[in-house]
Amino acid sequence: MERRVALKSMAVAMGAMAGLPAWASGWSKSSLGKGTLLAADQAKILSAMVETIIPKTDTPGAGELGVGAFVQKMVTDCYDSKAQAGLKSGVSNLDEQSIQRFGKSFADAGKEQRLQILQEIDKGSDAGQKAFLGMVKNLTIQGYMSSEYVMTNLTHYEMIPARYHGCVPVKKG
């Protein structure tokens, strides 16, 4: 590599590193939430769904940790339009099934009622609904396990694991 090219690349990288904090300081949850895939009522249904998949026990549930927003963001940013349409239609179908069976929205249904609907979808024969449920389950687990609460309080995440202890006394065995 030529010296001039290397110096230019380093100068651009340093400028970007210096400007990044000022650029990112204006970020907030509301500014990052623009362009969401689901409407507010559908997002509430999705949040109830992830809370049903990982409910609150002695640790917070997935809904409490905001995993529904994570699922929506992942599908919006990382999945194709077919999967995005599948999420929209899956949430709508889930709500329709709840209204048809229990007379109330999935988000307003009881914990056992929501679990019963999800179990029926899992055991059913509709491939589209099963794919929707599988996608949401996988993203719920991923979002929950990578949440700040789980990484700091349950798994005791270490930024640099497996430290090297160079000066350790050795005992004869």
Q: The domain containing residue 95 runs over which residues?
A: 35-149
CA-to-CA separations, 88 to 9, 15, 71, 95, 103, in angstroms, rounded: 44, 41, 12, 11, 21
Query: In the chain, pLDDT over 90 holds for what percent of residues?
Result: 54
Give me the pLDDT at residue 159, please: 73
Domain membership flag for residue 50: yes
Domain membership flag for residue 18: no
Rounded-to-integer distance, Cα 98 and Cα 92, Å: 10
Taking the whole predicted model, whether its pTM rises above 0.85 is answered as: no
* C-beta separation of 79 from 72 below 8 A: no
Domain membership flag for residue 164: no
The whole-angstrom distance between residue 133's C-alpha and the CA centroid of its chain comes to 14
- Lowest-confidence pick of 2-6, 35-39, 110-114: 35-39
Domain membership flag for residue 8: no
C-alpha dihedral, 46 to 52 to 54 to 60, nearest 10°: 90
Among 138, 139, 115, 135, which Cα is nearest to 127's? 135
The total domain count for the chain is 1
Q: What per-residue string of b and e applies to 134-165 under the rule 16 or more CB within 10 Å gives b?
A: ebbbebbeebbeebeebeeeeeeeeeeeeeee
Domain membership flag for residue 20: no
Higher-confidence residue of 72 and 1: namely 72
pLDDT by residue (tens digit) across 135-159? 999 999 999 999 889 888 888 767 7
Domain membership flag for residue 70: yes
Domain membership flag for residue 15: no
State mean pLDDT over 154-173: 78
pLDDT band at 33 (very low <50, low <70, confident <90, very high): low
Domain membership flag for residue 143: yes
pLDDT band at 8 (very low <50, low <70, confident <90, very high): confident
Counting Cα atoms < 13 Å in the Cβ hemisphere of 62 gives 27
Has residue 34 got a pLDDT over 60?
no
